[in-house]
Amino acid sequence: MDIITLGLPDLAAARRFYVDGLGWNPIFEVPGDIVFLQIGHGLVLGLWHADEMERDIDPNAPARPATGPVPMTLAHNVGSDAEVGEVLARAEQAGGTVLKAAQRGEVGFVHGFFADPAGFRWEVAHNPGWVINADGTVSIEPAEPAAVEQVDNAG
Amino acid sequence: MDIITLGLPDLAAARRFYVDGLGWNPIFEVPGDIVFLQIGHGLVLGLWHADEMERDIDPNAPARPATGPVPMTLAHNVGSDAEVGEVLARAEQAGGTVLKAAQRGEVGFVHGFFADPAGFRWEVAHNPGWVINADGTVSIEPAEPAAVEQVDNAG
């Protein structure tokens, strides 16, 4: 996958949050229209007007609410338990909302959630079992080995 | 970013679409609970029950609809104009819905959209101006140089 595009009711508010607030650097921008932020290896987060995004798919698309939580989360792993709280605090200072304070979750690692001004939700986690290998593949070592099952990936 | 988690009303239907239909390989799975699919360099798509995802954020979260379009798209770039149509056809065969057939969009390159069974929407595009550099950073060369502006990324 290459791009995640968020459809926003207020592009300027989103830009203030992600660029001015969190300090993420645009790699490409059409002022007032679209902002692209690098968020991973070959991975870009697009900020775009919700109505234009809908019209790009279907010119006759009915208007829909573009605020509030959507059935999706984005996740960012950090390097320590303490950093989870630090990132949540920074998001709050930038105008976001902390939905779940840093705490040890059911699966055994420390995490928390914040929402951006439009309601898109980010998980911030310190999961030592989440390993990105040199070739970019991910290995997951469960915190509770007895409760989960590693799938044979050879097929 | 490390993970995109889709909150699904029907995990089994999503698994049939992404794993059985599209042929994407789980890197980790707890049968009946969660499926992780590798979709990029160090990037994982999580398929999870919508209600469990909500409770993970807030145990008292009210139930919300987990179907239908959300104000977001995911995007996958392919290598040729013809491949755009091929991927859309494969998605349709797998149980998805083509929302926009392969066509040359306003920005000058060929793209189209499909929705998965829960309504999550994917753009499929062949954009020769989308360049992933050796270090993973993305450079975007607009198809219509006169209409857009390259941002200085040195800051």
CA atoms lying within 13 Å on the CB side of residue A94? 25
- CA B37/CA B24 separation, integer angstroms: 7
- In chain B, the percentage of residues whose pLDDT exceeds 70 is 86
Give SS3 for B27.
strand
Chain B residue whose CA is closest to A28: B151
- Global pTM? 0.80
Average pLDDT over residues B106-126: 90
Q: How many residue pairs bridge chain A and chain B with CB atoms within 8 Å of each other?
A: 189
Residue type, B130: W
Q: Which of B64, B72, B77 sits opposite A2 (nearest CB)?
A: B77
Please give the pLDDT value at position B117. Answer: 84
Could you report the per-residue pLDDT of B49-95, keeping only the tens digit for each?
988 888 888 888 776 666 666 778 899 999 999 999 999 999 999 98
The closest CB to that of B4, out of A72, A100, A138, belongs to A72
Task: Using CA coordinates, name the residue in chain A closest to B31.
Answer: A149
Give A105's contacts in chain B (Cβ within 8 Å): 56
Does position B154 have pLDDT exceeding 50, yes or no? no
What DSSP state is assigned to residue B150?
A: P
The pLDDT score that the predictor gives to residue A150 is: 42
Position A117 scores a pLDDT of: 84
Cα–Cα distance, A33 to A105 (Å, whole number): 39
Å from A17 to nearest chain B CA?
Answer: 17
| CB nearest to B70's CB, from A1, A72, A76 | A72
Task: Summarize pLDDT for B7-26 with one digit per residue, the tens.
Answer: 888 999 999 999 999 888 89
State ipTM: 0.79
> B148 vs A30: CB contact, 8 Å cut-off?
yes
Q: What is the mean pLDDT of residues B103-130?
A: 90
Is there a contact between B4 and A123 if contact means CB atoms under 8 Å apart? no
Task: Mark B79-97 as b/e (b = at least 16 C-beta within 10 Å).
Answer: eeeebbbebbeebeebbbe
